[in-house]
Amino acid sequence: MSSISEDQKVSIEQVPELCDCLNLIPTHTIGKLYLGAVGGLRDLDKYNIKFVVSLFPTLNIEIPDNVLRHEYSISDQPQYKPRMKSILDETTDDIRAELQKGTNVFVHCFAGVSRSSTVVLDYLLTHEQLNMTTFQEVLEWIRKFRQQVKPNDGFIELLKERHVLI
């Protein structure tokens, strides 16, 4: 990946294959919610995914024209907490609307560990009535479906503030 420049278009075939590229997260909606790594873009057709939320600084990956994508440039560092807040404010309701329409949604960052898991956790805590009061409970629950989930400290702090978790 390091040989690809920021402004270069990259085909899906050039995306690295990473293990556990995407995982299904249970919701109470018609559509399915997937969380994972950039390599999951290879499986958009396989899982009939039509809405993608991409979270990483720069990498212009081409996807099929029939897939709607929201792209957000953000690094996985705690000091990007204000940027992540604005992303959460924008994406959570969009994800909900697509899932309620029956659209399959894929939220990813590069490795599917911190940025994308923060967005999915925020969606779940906002719209899915998880009935959990501690952040540790929420983490243990989502890790049943994707073990790699580990938001950075700034993103954890943001989620706790937004959802009054201890």
> Which residues form the catalytic set?
109
Q: In sequence order, what E strands does the chain have?
A: 9-10, 22-25, 33-36, 49-55, 60-61, 68-72, 104-108
Contact 31, 101 (CB under 8 A): yes
Q: Tell whether the torsion through CA atoms of 55, 100, 123 and 35 is positive or negative.
A: negative
Exposed / middle / buried, residue 7 (Cβ in 10 Å: 0-12, 13-18, 19+): exposed
> Cα(58)–Cα(78) distance, rounded to whole angstroms?
18
Structure tokens belonging to residue 84: 């992540």
Residue bearing tokens 């898991």: 117
Q: DSSP 3-state assignment of 51?
A: strand
